Amino acid sequence: AGAGAYSGFQAVDLRWGDPARPGLTLWVVEHRYYETRCACGHRTRAGAGQGVVDPLLAGIELSEWRLVGPGLAVLIVALAYRFRLSRARIREFLGEWLGLDLRVGTIHRTLHEAGAAVAPVEDELVEAVLASTLLHADETPWPEHDQTLWL
C-alpha cells in the first residue's frame, strides 16, 4: 500500500538574500506527515519531532509543529532583545515592513520557545566568557524599566 498524507502545517519563514539578490523574502514552508500501511495491516505514521520538556519552562514545548520558522524567529528575537522593541512594536514592524500580520501572542510564544531552545548552552556560554583573557566593558547606559544601568 502507498503512503498518504494525514496531517500537516504551514510555517512562515524568512529567506535571507545573497549578494546577487539582497533583502528578505517571506515564504511559506509546507510540512506534511505521512502514514503507510504494510501488508499485515500495521499502520506507521510520521509525526513532528518533539524536544525535551524542561519542568522549569512550564507551558513551553519545543516541537517542529509551529507557525514561525527559524529565520523569522531569529528576526523576532533580534527585534525584541537587541533592538529592545515591545511585542506590539514587533507586530507593527512585521506588518509595515514585511506585510505579515502576527498576533502578539504568537510573537510572545516565539520568544519563549527561542529562549527554551538555547537554555542548554547558557552555562557553556557563561563559562566561555568567564574564561576569556580579555573582557570588554564600556560606559554605555542601558535603560531598564525606570533605572539606568550599565554594561
CB neighbour class for 65 (10 Å; exposed up to 12, middle 13-18, buried from 19): middle
What's the pTM? 0.70
d(CA 114, CA 66): 12
Report helix, strand or coil for 57.
coil
Question: What's the pLDDT score for residue 55?
Answer: 64
Report helix, strand or coil for 27.
strand
Radius of gyration over every alpha carbon of the chain, rounded to an integer in angstroms: 21
Instruction: Give just the sign of the alpha carbon dihedral 40, 46, 10, 25.
Output: negative
Question: What's the pLDDT score for residue 51?
Answer: 66
Q: Which helix (H) or strand (E) holds 143?
A: strand 141-144
Using an 8 Å Cβ cutoff, are 87 and 104 in contact? Answer: yes
Candidates 66, 31, 29; CA nearest to 46 is: 31
Question: What's the pLDDT score for residue 65?
Answer: 64
Domain ranges of the chain: 4-120
Low-confidence stretches of the chain (pLDDT beneath 50): none
Candidates 115, 118, 73; CA nearest to 94 is: 73
Of the chain, the end-to-end C-alpha distance in Å amounts to 63
